[in-house]
Amino acid sequence: MSGKSIVQGLMARLATSRFVRDALMKEEDPATIASKPTPRIWMGLGLIGLSYIIGWPAVGLLAWISYHLKEPLIVVAGGPVTYGLSHVVFWIGLYCAGTPYIRPLLQWAARRLVKRLEASSSEGNPPKVFATSFPKEKSGRMRSSPFAAGIRGAPSPAMIAGATAFLLAGLLLLIRPALAMIPLALFVLACMVAPFLPGFGFFLPVISRGKKEGRSVALTFDDGPDPKISPRLLELLRCHGAPATFFVTGAKAERYPELIRGILSHGHTIGNHSYHHDPLLMLRSRATLRNEIALAQDALAAYGIRPLTFRPPVGITNPKLSGVLKELGMDCVNFSCRALDFGNRRIGGLAEIILEKVRPGDIILLHDVVPRGGDGAERWIAEIERILSGLTNKEYEILPLSDLIDRSVMVHLHDSDERAAE
């Protein structure tokens, strides 16, 4: 095999790398890392410095205390914990302070490598794989996502809380070992409670409300579509000129294709609400979680759309969801105003509760499933009518969810940019 063919093969492989494509698009210069350090970098450097303080010096202090108190358990138990804690703090600090520098340097090195390979090619022109334009929709969407640069690399509140808990535990271990378990127990408690708070992005960025400028809200309907009420709901929304976003399940999208087409033909948007709507989905494995979201994406792709937003069943999140949504290029969207209707199992006073709780910028949660009881559908439609009229009377403007949160909810697969991205 000739050297020329080896170079061309290597360039073809590099062209398939998303990292190399991003490097060629951004044209960043290593000089950018000389800019003024951000608070995150200062925090990382501070944690690195702190790790050296709570390393061997702290172990030596424990040994001194153990010797004078004649209690060897202090250094036997506290020494490994303190030294291990110093390593945890060091790596967290290195992650916070180093990632802003590492990526520009690697991208600069990738561009230099590509240019050297191009120069070694006898044609003298850049290969077509590197000269091709890149999809605008895809790159633009990633920049507007909460997982995009600047937020994607930032530590989550869970990471910060965990590091703080371990740090406090290490300090308390030096002062009063019996109290060292308190911050760790509080962190475990926070990890147990936080998933049930829909508006709290503890493990990952969560969009739960929109901009507060003006009196605007967005309507969202979960768990549908339902053939018994969805057509009537669409007609009601049309009469009021109210846009909505429907977070549908993949199974129902496959079962009721005419309803999905009706939602789209009325100008509404669709989000992903998993395939089976398993209330215990966040207790399943990462593979199951990804499969549930991906199956729903495949079901909705049959209608020429790809949702960019995911609402977890019951609004519960977990640490695994962050990586899955990053991989699929999606945002997590929850809600800020709901009536606790338990999936339309309790619809009495639904309108009154919503209209009393609603505030500017709210994402309102409702459910697109038929209530129980012989007259459940009629009563629910009447409640939705009162909500729509009440919002108008209170001078609220109902915006599309994408306008309220300033982020795309879905894309059409037949768009020219989307074809290029695929």
Domain 206-421 has CATH 3.20.20.370: yes
Least-confidence region, from 63-67, 186-190, 258-262, 354-358: 63-67
Compute the distance between CA of residue 288 and CA of residue 294 in angstroms, rounded to an integer: 10
pLDDT tens for residues 279-299?
999 999 999 999 999 999 999
Supply the residues annotated as catalytic.
222, 367
Nearest in space to 100 (alpha carbons), one of 164, 44, 49: 44
Asked whether the predicted pLDDT for residue 194 surpasses 70, the reply is yes
Q: What distances in angstroms separate CA 190 from CA 173, 183, 202, one per listed residue?
A: 21, 10, 9
Percent residues over pLDDT 90 in the chain: 45
Domain with CATH 3.20.20.370 in the chain: 206-421
- Burial, 198: exposed, middle or buried (Cβ in 10 Å; 0-12, 13-18, 19+)? buried
Percent residues over pLDDT 70 in the chain: 78
| Mean pLDDT value of segment 163-172 | 84
Task: With cut-offs at 50, 70 and 90, classify the pLDDT of residue 149.
Answer: very low
pLDDT tens for residues 73-129?
777 777 777 777 777 888 888 777 776 666 677 767 777 777 776 666 544 454 444
Give the other-Cβ count within 10 Å of 119's Cβ. Answer: 9
On the CB side of 158, CA atoms within 13 Å amount to 19
On the CB side of 285, CA atoms within 13 Å amount to 3
Packed helices 376-393 and 230-240: angle between N→C axes, nearest 10 degrees: 20
Asked whether the predicted pLDDT for residue 152 surpasses 50, the reply is no
pTM for the model = 0.65
Task: With cut-offs at 50, 70 and 90, classify the pLDDT of residue 51.
Answer: confident
pLDDT tens for residues 348-400?
899 999 999 999 999 999 999 999 877 889 999 999 999 999 999 999 999 99
Mean confidence (pLDDT) of the chain: 81
